[in-house]
Every structure is written in C-alpha cells, then in structure tokens.
Amino acid sequence: MIKIDNLVVAYGGIEALKGISLEVPSGKIVTLVGANGAGKSTTLKSIVGLVKTKSGTISYEGTDLAKLNTEIMVKKGIALVPEGRKVFADLTVLENLKIGAYTRKDKKGVEEDLEKVYSLFPRLKERTWQAAGTLSGGEQQMLAIGRALMSRPKLIMMDEPSLGLAPIVVKELFGIIKKINEEGMTVLLIEQNANAALKIADLGYIMETGTIKLKGTGKELLANEDIKKAYLGEAL
Ligand SMILES: Nc1ncnc2c1ncn2[C@@H]1O[C@H](COP(=O)(O)OP(=O)(O)OP(=O)(O)O)[C@@H](O)[C@H]1O
Ligand SMILES: [Mg+2]
C-alpha cells in the first residue's frame, strides 16, 4: 500500500533520514520503533508531505505521493494522528469529530462512523458537548484517533498514540488498534512502547539514527536478543 524507497530527508544539511526503504502492505499493522530522534516522526511527515524530501520515492497504491496534496490524500484514504494531541481546543468533541469527516458527502456513512467512534470510545460519547481543550490528556488522545477514523481511512498512521496514557488505557488503546485493523484498516504505528507495538504488529522496523537497523515480523523482533536489550528492557 505504501512503499518507501531510499528516502533521504535533511533538516538544514543534517540528514534525519539517510536513505530508508520500507513497506506497509495493505491490511497489515506495521510499526516503527526506535529511540528519540531516530527519524520516526520524520518518516510519517514525509508520507503526508509535511517535510520536503531530498531524494527517494514514496508511493501509495502505486501513485507517487509527491504528486498529491493533503486534501486528495484524505480523499484517497490516508489519515494521520499526529504526535502530541492536536485537537481543536475551543471546539466541542462532536465538532472535532465532524471536522474529521469534512471531505465526505455520505451523510449516512458519517453518522454510522460517529456511532462507531462512540462505541469504541464511550468516554467521548459522554463528553460530546465538552470543549476539547478541557478533556484529560487520554481523552484528547482518544479524540485525535476518533477524528482520524471519521475520514473512514484505508490507512491510518499514528505517531505515538500511547504517549502519556495510563497503562490500563494503553492496553485498551492497543486493543482498539487491533480491532480497527481486523475490520480492514491498514495501520502504520509509531511507538516507543516497543513491546506493546510489536505484540500487535504483523511487521516491524527498528530505526536508529535515520536508518532502518532491522526488520521482521512482530514475533521475530520480540524474540530478538539485541532488540530485547535495547528497546524492550525490563519493566521498571
Ligand atoms: N524541523 C526540524 N528542524 C531541524 N531538525 C529537525 C526537525 N525535525 C526533526 N529534526 C531532527 O531530526 C531528527 C529526527 O527527528 P524525528 O522527530 O523524526 O525523531 P523521532 O524518531 O520521531 O523521535 P521521538 O521519538 O523523540 O519523537 C532529530 O535529530 C531531530 O532533532
Ligand atoms: Mg517522534
């Protein structure tokens, strides 16, 4: 579905991505894990055109993504849940969710998806009329994901969705990611929570300072001794 070939991205002469290649096959959960500054967010931003690429190609269902603008990307089924919770603070929960569906004309489908988001996140339903800025951090994260789902994407990309969430909420969140994938959505997930991410991932890439150090199935990477030492650690 997404194919990245030899991608180089530089910020002011310093290469943040040094020629990475990776694939996100349709229907799968793919995760990128790696330390701070490895280039994970830069990879996602390159896919949606938020950073300028220096060389290499990114294609989506065979089309060169450099040729598409953001609105067309949304229409073609790509949604991004950005790093940090970028909800519209002054708007209500419902208004935020509706913004996610702004390119859609199928009113009935939008209503259905709203119910679906509310059933995935009952907390949001209780707080339909609350200003998003007054939601708790975890609730804002749910809203950011819910809003992305409202565009009925084929591919959802999430940048550290578990950041700052309580362990029990993280568990719930990973359950939800698994569930939306089982319903047919392709997922590209960035996580520092490598253990949880690799457990649900079909395919994982380990990034290190702008390069892909290792790739494998979630299972393989979880069992890899070097990965265990570097990223999985002991629970503190
Ligand atoms: N706008 C920018 N200008 C200059 N350097 C940048 C910019 N954005 C990112 N970088 C640098 O590029 C490198 C990769 O950053 P990136 O945000 O992709 O890392 P990351 O893997 O997402 O890290 P984290 O886990 O901390 O979010 C870092 O060294 C970062 O300082
Ligand atoms: Mg990041």
Kindly state if the Cβ of 37 falls inside 6 Å of ligand 1. yes
Q: Is 92 helix (H, G, I), strand (E, B) or coil?
A: strand
CB 96 within 8 A of CB 132: yes
Predicted confidence at residue 192, as pLDDT, reads: 82
Kindly state if the Cβ of 38 falls inside 6 Å of ligand 1. yes
Kindly state if the Cβ of 40 falls inside 6 Å of ligand 1. yes
DSSP 103: T
Identify residues whose C-beta is under 5 A from ligand 2, the ion. 40-41
Predicted confidence at residue 236, as pLDDT, reads: 44
Q: Is 191 helix (H, G, I), strand (E, B) or coil?
A: strand
Rounded Cα distance between 158 and 16, Å, is 19
Q: Where are the alpha helices (DSSP H) in the chain?
A: 40-47, 70-75, 93-100, 107-120, 122-126, 137-149, 167-182, 194-200, 218-223, 225-227
Q: Which residues in the chain show pLDDT less than 50?
A: 235-236
Nearest ligand to residue 209 Cα:
1
Predicted confidence at residue 60, as pLDDT, reads: 93
Predicted confidence at residue 233, as pLDDT, reads: 65
pTM: 0.92
Nearest atom within ligand 1 for CA of residue 190: 22
Give nearest CA residue, ligand 1 atom 28: 37
- Tell me the CA distances in angstroms from 11 to 21, 39, 61, 95, 207, one per residue in order: 19, 11, 28, 35, 18
The per-residue pLDDT for range 178-225, each reduced to its tens digit, is 999 999 999 999 998 888 899 999 999 999 999 999 999 999 999 988
Q: Ligand 2 mean position to 39 CA, how many Å? A: 7
Predicted confidence at residue 234, as pLDDT, reads: 52
Q: Ligand 2 mean position to 35 CA, how many Å? A: 9
Give nearest CA residue, ligand 1 atom 25: 36
Q: Among 8, 22, 31, 41, which is best to mutate for testing ligand 1, by the most ligand atoms less than 8 A from CB? A: 41
Kindly state if the Cβ of 102 falls inside 6 Å of ligand 1. no
Nearest atom within ligand 1 for CA of residue 43: 18
Predicted confidence at residue 150, as pLDDT, reads: 95
